[in-house]
């Protein structure tokens, strides 16, 4: 996969992610958080049943699975309490946390332009997702989602470190096994609720598992082989942009002038980050500087 195709793939991933806020929010009206995650991760793991075991992927997949479970669990818990727009904004803080994690934990040097792009993106996210004037202050769902932002930031950076250590299907698929195991341990007291879940919710979970989880995992591993983690984080800022568009389409929400301004700032942030990773003389750099 080439660098431009990797960036386009990450953008496509954000489109899929943008659909999940409305779907998860609606599904939680008929199924507990733990059961939704257990079914989602189990079905996603089953989609990789054909993948051959790869010992090189064992340790990376375990850590990726733990980080992904933490991100999904805290985000889904947060969505059961807070609004989708606030969840999207707080999740977007991963854009700022990603270069900080890379700098502090993995001791990578990050160009000042990446920090500037991250700050511009956060301002855009604020305009886009808080356009409704939700000013009731921090709630429990917001706190859960702060954990999501941190987990996703570490996941993005760690994936950038290990993406080339094993085959894409093995690394993408094996991480779902610890995710499913943890989810079923959490869901054990709620198993009786399965009998009361409507068919529509099961269909929604199938989409979340097969498209938004399994397929996205393969595409993300492949793309982050060629796209640096800091650039990937900026691209992922588009997630709430698409979330807002789907909310308008499916739930009748209006974007408004502030929302459009926020979207433009998000695109500007992407451009700033992309310019930094064009090497001197037109060659694309392979990683953060």
Query: Residue by residue, what is the 3-state secondary structure of 205-224?
Result: HHHHHHHHHHHHHHHHHHHC
pLDDT score at 204? 96
pLDDT score at 135? 47
Upper half-sphere CA count for residue 163 (Cβ side, 13 Å): 22
Give, for all 289 residues of the chain, the pLDDT tens digit. 899 999 999 999 999 999 998 899 889 999 999 999 999 999 999 998 888 888 898 999 999 999 999 999 999 999 888 877 778 878 878 877 888 888 887 777 777 877 888 888 888 777 766 654 444 456 788 889 889 999 998 998 888 888 888 888 888 889 999 999 999 999 999 999 998 999 999 999 999 999 998 899 889 888 988 988 778 878 888 888 888 788 778 877 666 787 778 778 877 887 776 565 444 333 333 333 2
pLDDT score at 286? 30
52-86 CB burial, b ≥16 within 10 A, e <16: eebeebeebbebbbbbbbbbbbbbbbbbbbbbbbb
SS3 278: strand
The two tokens of residue 81 are 């309490």
pLDDT score at 28? 92
Cα R_g (the chain), whole angstroms: 18
For 256: left if phi > 0, alpha if psi spans -120 to 50, otherwise beta; the answer is left
Distances (CA, A) of 142 to 75, 147, 183, 199: 9, 9, 21, 30
The two tokens of residue 199 are 């068919």
Nearest to 97 by CA among 163, 152, 158: 152
| Spatial separation of the C-alpha atoms in residues 274 and 278, rounded to whole Å | 7
177-194 CB burial, b ≥16 within 10 A, e <16: bbbbbbbbebbeeeeeee
Please give the full DSSP string across 217-273, using - where no structure is assigned: HHHHHHHTTTS-HHHHHHHTTHHHHHHHHHHHHHH----HHHHHHHHHHHHHHHHHH
pTM more than 0.75: yes
Do residues 81 and 141 lie in contact, with contact meaning Cβ atoms separated by under 8 Å?
Answer: yes
Long-range Cβ contacts of 105-108 (<8 Å, 24+ apart): 105/154, 105/157, 106/157, 106/161, 108/287, 108/288
Burial of 195 (0-12, 13-18, 19+ CB in 10 A): exposed
The two tokens of residue 265 are 């700032």
SS3 241: helix
Burial of 211 (0-12, 13-18, 19+ CB in 10 A): middle
How large is the angle between the packed helices 216-223 and 3-27, nearest 10 degrees? 150
First-to-last alpha carbon distance for the chain, in angstroms, is 22
């Amino acid at each position: 996969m080439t660098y431009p195709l990797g960036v386009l793939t990450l953008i496509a991933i954000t489109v899929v992610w943008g659909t999940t806020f409305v779907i998860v929010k609606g599904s939680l009206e008929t199924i507990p958080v733990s059961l939704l995650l257990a079914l989602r991760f189990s079905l996603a793991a089953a989609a990789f049943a054909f993948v051959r075991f790869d010992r090189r992927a064992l340790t990376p997949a375990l850590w990726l699975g733990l980080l992904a479970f933490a991100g999904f669990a805290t985000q889904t818990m947060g969505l059961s309490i807070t609004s989708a727009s606030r969840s999207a904004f707080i999740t977007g803080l991963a854009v700022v946390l990603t270069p900080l994690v890379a700098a502090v934990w993995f001791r990578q040097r990050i160009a000042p332009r990446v920090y500037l792009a991250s700050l511009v993106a956060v301002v855009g996210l604020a305009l886009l997702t808080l356009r409704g004037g939700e000013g009731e202050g921090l709630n429990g769902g917001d706190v859960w989602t702060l954990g999501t932002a941190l987990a996703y930031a570490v996941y993005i950076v760690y994936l950038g470190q290990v993406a080339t250590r094993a085959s894409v299907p093995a690394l993408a698929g094996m991480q779902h096994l610890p995710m499913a195991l943890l989810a079923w341990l959490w869901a054990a007291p709620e198993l009786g609720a399965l009998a009361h879940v409507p068919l529509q919710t099961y269909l929604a979970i199938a989409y979340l598992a097969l498209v938004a989880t399994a397929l996205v995992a393969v595409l993300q591993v492949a793309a982050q082989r060629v796209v640096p983690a800091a650039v990937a984080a900026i691209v992922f800022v588009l997630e709430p942009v698409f979330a807002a568009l789907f909310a308008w389409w499916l739930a009748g929400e209006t974007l408004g002038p502030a929302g459009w301004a926020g979207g433009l700032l998000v695109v500007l942030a992407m451009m700033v980050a992309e310019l930094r990773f064009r090497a001197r003389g037109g060659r694309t750099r392979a990683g953060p500087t």
